[in-house]
Structure 1
Amino acid sequence: MDKNQLAVKEMQEGDLEAAAKLLNEAIEENPQDPVAYTNFGNLLAAVKEEDKALRFFNKAIALDGETAAAHYGKGNIFFNQDDFDKAIDAYQTALAQGLQQADVYYMLGFSYYQKGDMSRALPSLQRSAELNPEDVDALFYYALTLAQLELVDQAVEAFEDVLKVDPHHADSFFNLGVAYAYKEQGEKAIEMFDKALAIQPDHVLSHNGKRQIEEQLKQ
C-alpha cells in the first residue's frame, strides 16, 4: 500500500493528522503526482478549508486534466457554495473523464434540481438511482423530480421504491399523499398522510394536507 492509499485509509478512520503527514510526504517524494494533490484536496474539503482545497484540486488538474476525482472534488466545493453552474460543469467533466459513479450522477442531478431545472435533473437522478438502488436520497429526489414534472404515476412508483429501502421515510408518505390528492383519490391521500404522521407526529405538511382533504371530502 503506497502513501496515497495509506492516507485514504487514515482519512476513512478519522485520523486526518496522520493522513496529512502521509500526503505531504507523497507530494515531496513525487511532486508531479496528481493523486496526492487530489487526496489532499479531499482532506482539506473535509475540514471546511475550501479555498485551500480548491488550490490542491486545481494543481492536480494542472498536472493532469483527466484527473476525474479532482473535478468531482471541485464540484462538491462549488455545490456547497451554492454555485450550481460551476458545480454542474465540474461534475460533467468528472463524468466525461470516466468517473461514472452513482454519487457523481446524484450530485449533478441535485445541482440541476437546486436550480429548478427539473428536466435536466431527471436523467442524472434516474441514473444515480439505477447505479445505487439502496441510496435513499437519490431515490427520493428522483421521485420528487418526477412529481415536479407532473409525471404522477411514475412518481408514485418511485416514492414506493424509497419506502422499500426505508419503510419509515415520512416525507415519501407525505408526497404519496399529495400524489393521491392530485389524482383525486382523497381516502388514499389521507391514508398516506396518516402513515407519515405515525412516523413523524409533528410533520406539519402532512397535518395540513390531511386537513385540506378532509374538508374537501365533507363538501
Structure 2
Amino acid sequence: MLMVLIRIRMLILMVLPALVLAACGGGTSPSEPQQAPMDATGYFSRGNDYAQKKDYDRAIADFSQAIALNPGYIEAHNNRGLAYAMQGEYDRAIADFDQAIALKDDYLFAYHNRGLAYAAQGAYDRAIADYDQAILLDSTSAGVYNHRGLAYYEQGDNDRAIADLNKAIALDPRNAMAYHNRGLVYAHKGRYDQAIADYTEAITLSPDTAPPYYNRGEAYVQAGEKEQALADFRRFLELSDDADWRQKARAQLQSLEQTAP
C-alpha cells in the first residue's frame, strides 16, 4: 500500500505557506502577532501570522473579523479557507473558496486551493476541473500540474498523471513532491526502477520528508532489494509521527527481518 493519506495531508501542508504569502501581497513576517488590530487589514495580517505559526483557531477568528469589517475581502476568504482546510474542515474551506471566486472569478489561488480541498474529500473530478481552470489562468504553475497529476493518479489515469508530473518537473526541476508523485505512478505501473529513481530524487531535494522513504522502501521490496528497503523503513520511522503509517512501517520491517537470510 502506497502512502496516499499521508501524501494528501502533506500536499496541503506544503501549499499553505506559499499561497498565504501570495495572497498577502507583501505580507508581514511571522514574528509575534501584532496586538489590537483596528481595521480589516490588521486582522488579516495578524491572521496570516497565526496561520504561519499553525495556530489555526486564532487565524480563523482574525480572518473572520477581517471579513466582518470588509465582506469583499477576497484574500481573507481564501486564507480562512486554507486555515479550515488545515483543520480538515473541507466543506467550510470550499465555501470560503467559493466566495473568493464569486468575488473575483479569475482568482487563481482559490481555484487551486478548492481543488486541493475537493481532492482531500476524494472528489477528483471536481478537483481536476478546478486545476484545469487554474492552469487556464496561469499555465506556468508547477504546483497545479503536480496536483492535477496526483488527481489523475487517484483516478487510475496513469498516462495523464505522468504527463502532468513531467510538466511540473519541467517547470520546476526542484519540486520534490512532483518527483515523489511521479514515483507513485511508476510504482503503480510496475516500473520499480523508475519509481526508485524518482523517490531518490525527491529525497535528495527534501531529505527530511518522510513519505518518499516509505514508498521507496516498498519499491525496493518489489525489486527484491531487502537491505535498501530495511534502511528506508527505518529512516521513515525516524522522521514520521503518523501513528498509522508508523505501524505499517514496523510491520514491513518485521516481515523483512523474518525473511532476511
- The aligned counterpart of 1:172 is 216
Runs of 5+ unmatched residues, structure 2? 1-26, 28-40, 235-249
CA contact under 8 A between 1:171 and 1:196: conserved in structure 2? no
- The C-alpha deviation readout for 1:56-77, integer Å capped at 9, x for no partner, is 2111111111111111221122
- The aligned counterpart of 1:196 is 229
Distance in structure 1 (CA, Å) of the matches to 2:57 and 2:220: 46
- The aligned counterpart of 2:179 is 139
1:122 deviates by 0.7
Equivalent position to 2:85, from 9, 34, 45: 45
Distance change (3 Å), C-alpha of 1:33 and 1:103 = same
Q: In the alignment, residue 72 of structure 1 is paired with which amino acid?
A: H
Distance in structure 1 (CA, Å) of the matches to 2:164 and 2:83: 27
1:158 deviates by 2.5
- The aligned counterpart of 2:136 is 96
How large is the RMSD of aligned CA atoms in angstroms? 3.3
- The aligned counterpart of 1:113 is 153
Distance change (3 Å), C-alpha of 1:206 and 1:103 = farther
1:11 deviates by 0.9
Distance change (3 Å), C-alpha of 1:105 and 1:43 = same
1:69 matched to 2:109: yes
Q: In the alignment, residue 85 of structure 1 is paired with which amino acid?
A: D
Which structure has the higher relative contact order (CA within 8 Å, separation 6+)?
A: 2
Distance change (3 Å), C-alpha of 1:205 and 1:139 = farther
Distance in structure 2 (CA, Å) of the matches to 1:27 and 1:153: 51
- The aligned counterpart of 1:127 is 167
Give aligned-pair identity as a percent.
25
- The aligned counterpart of 1:23 is 63
> What count of residue pairs does the alignment treat as equivalent?
200
Distance in structure 1 (CA, Å) of the matches to 2:185 and 2:221: 16
- The aligned counterpart of 1:35 is 75
Distance change (3 Å), C-alpha of 1:160 and 1:87 = same
What TM-score results when the alignment is normalised by the length of structure 2? 0.63
1:54 deviates by 1.8
- The aligned counterpart of 1:217 is none
1:92 deviates by 1.8
- The C-alpha deviation readout for 1:57-110, integer Å capped at 9, x for no partner, is 111111111111111221122112111111111122122222844432222111
1:42 deviates by 1.5
